[in-house]
Amino acid sequence: MKDTYYFSHDYNTRNDIKIKRLMQKHGMEGYGVFWAIVEELYNNANALPTDYDTIAYEMHVSTDIVKSIINDFDLFVIEGNEFGSSSVERRLNERAEKSKKARQSADKRWSEYRSNTNAMRTHSEGNAIKERKGKEKKETKEKERIEIKDNDSDFFEVIEYPSFDDFWNLYDKKVDRTKAEAKWKLLSQKEKEEAVEYIPAYKLAQPDKKFRRNPETFINNKTWQNEIITNNGQQTKKHNFVFTADDFKR
């Protein structure tokens, strides 16, 4: 599937003493939930809210199991109202570093190619127009070949702003990333820019995350086209929000 990534899964994970303790208490169900949580961390930049009820609901297990897996076996790091994994963080950093080096290598190859091509063109300046056009055509094909090669190695990068990650990190209420991203893709470029420009004012009006709309609802309702209302009920513009039950989901 396009835009799908994998992460390494050590084949001897079950020999880890922490995992053995986890399985001793929760069996294979606990082991499966552990890996499901790890997958969610990879999908959410290694940061999830400690909302045990929601996680349990999405994974069809009890809240007690989720809470125990996250807290009792030293498998995750909890900071405030969020948790993550040191192992996931390390591997994400390694992947980012490899991607950076691959892009630098591709840029270097292309720069060297351009330098060599320019030198050849200077040397043959007196050639006929037909020959020069042939070289330019060859240069274009070579550039396309290099870009395709880089694309095949998963390091070809198209710069997009604002991207969903720009929105996700700025909005900073990390709930239902998959659903929110699907809604984000339906927006026009203008709507994406308007949404990102609106978020700072919205966060000032709703500094407590739990009172902000879930990201999916914020995008789906195009909240930036409405008006801001502060926590004490004072209007900052002409109109109020129309709030729904979804606005207060954790």
CA distance 236 to 176: 29
| Residue 11: Cβ-neighbour burial (10 angstroms; 0-12, 13-18, 19+) | exposed
**Rounded distance between C-alpha atoms, residue 223 and residue 235, angstroms:** 15
Do 239 and 172 lie in one domain? The reply is yes
**What is the spatial distance between Cα 92 and Cα 1, in angstroms, rounded to a whole number?**
20
Furthest C-alpha separation in the chain = 81
* pLDDT at res. 45: 87
**75 and 113 both lie in a single domain:** no
Radius of gyration of the chain, Cα coordinates, nearest whole angstrom: 25
Same-domain status, 21 and 77? yes
Q: Give me the sign of the Cα torsion angle 170, 206, 250, 243.
A: negative
In a domain, 91, yes or no: no
Is there a single domain that holds both residue 22 and residue 60? yes
182: in domain: yes
Q: Which three-class secondary structure state does DSSP give residue 77?
A: strand
Pair (23, 51) in one structural domain? yes
Number of domains the chain contains: 3
CB atoms within 10 A of CB 147: 13
Please tell me whether residues 177 and 243 are part of one structural domain.
yes
Q: What are phi and psi of 49, to 5 degrees?
A: -70, 150
| Domain match, 195 and 168 both | yes
Residue-number span of the structural domain to which 43 is assigned: 13-84
pTM over 0.75: no
Calpha distance 87→243 (Å, rounded): 39
In this structure, are 203 and 242 located in the same domain?
yes
Q: What is the pLDDT of residue 116?
A: 63
Please give the chain's pLDDT, 250 residues, in tens: 444 455 556 666 788 899 999 999 999 999 999 999 999 998 888 999 999 999 999 999 999 999 999 999 999 999 999 999 988 888 888 777 776 766 676 666 666 656 665 555 555 555 555 566 566 665 555 555 544 444 444 433 445 678 899 899 999 999 999 999 999 999 999 899 998 988 888 888 888 888 889 999 999 999 888 765 555 544 355 444 444 555 444 4
